[in-house]
Amino acid sequence: MNCEWVFAFRKSDEACKKQRRLLVQHLSPNAVFSFHERQLDAAHAMLRVMLNHESSKNLEESLKYNSSGLILAITYGYEVKPENDEFVELVSETVTQVTRALHSSFFLVNNFLWLKYVPAWFPGSKFRIFAEEARKNAISVRDIPFEYCKATIEAGTAKPSFMGNVLAASNDETSDARRIQDIKEIASVMFTDKNDLPYIEAIVKEVMRWWQPLPMGIAHCSMEDDVYRGYKIPKGSRIIANVWGILHDESIFPQPNEFRPERFLASEKNSDIICDPALSGFFGWGRRICPGQPLAEASLWIQIASILAAFRLDPAKDEMGKEIDVSLERDFKCK
């Protein structure tokens, strides 16, 4: 896709370190609190969507729209249209494309790198067309919302946003062109007292443990020869972490396929809370851990708390009056 400029994919060089410092500075737990009102507005909009949905498919698409709108609002101060918003559609399409590209089994070229030299006309090389379209969309996501935000700042109509905060605070010795490029690139990847509601916190953790958007994480590359537990890992090897396997390890999470938030609650019988999914690969590890973790966890917490405060969720019933089992299937029914 030729998207080496994307923060999550670039090498750990000085530019990457500088961008990470910007992200950590403006997405720390304290900094994220400034977006609390935006997150609440998005949660309330989500509740209205859930109340009026006609089918699970309709609901899923609406919730995706809501999530994309929240990211655009926080990152660029952009007010999303109620429907058919061009920015949201662009972001949603790009996220879908990148997710497919990251899946190790979606394209053979992900496992047989020599296939990237196959010409576009050769049978089975549709991945080249896909990659080119995804690359163009990724560049559009990087540039178009940024220009919108910059224009509103210059016009004096900008709303509080991550981008506005970074632009206002960025006054280092780097040239304006390089500084602006750094900000554009890191913005493009963003996409009640919690202590008083421990069960909500437990639900958040169990949601992350039970179901991951990237079950195999993001592939990494070894920068030098290494040895791990007797296994030699040559320089340039692709490293894939089985996040799903780690978070479904029965020795750590008994009955791993069951949704049991109680496993994260401390009690007299269970005084030691088992490992936190957020620290076990859900957001990555080490220097490559997702810097947007505080924002993502806060948004998820607010959304779950809002749903439980506003609704009572029960399985739907069939024609015989029996409850319909809710499983991992995408198309499920509830009331």
Place of tokens 């750094």: 182
Place of tokens 């936190």: 276
20 CB burial (10 A radius; 0-12, 13-18, 19+)? middle
CA nearest 79: which of 41, 46, 125, 47? Answer: 41
- Please answer whether residues 183 and 22 qualify as being in contact, where contact means their C-beta atoms are separated by less than 8 angstroms: yes
* Residues of the chain by 3-state class (helix, strand, coil), percent to 5: 55, 5, 40
> Quick one: three-class SS letters along 214-265?
CCCCCCEECCCCEEECCEEECCCCEECCCHHHHHCCCCCCCCCCCCCHHHHC
> Quick one: three-class SS letters along 298-328?
HHHHHHHHHHHHHCCCCECECCCCCECCCCC
CA nearest 168: which of 8, 158, 294? Answer: 158
CA distance 221 to 228: 15
Place of tokens 């080249």: 128
CA distance 55 to 334: 9
Residue 111 φ/ψ, nearest 5 degrees: -110, -25
Task: Flag whether 221 is marked binding.
Answer: no
- Residue list for the binding site: 290
- Residue list for the binding site for heme: 290
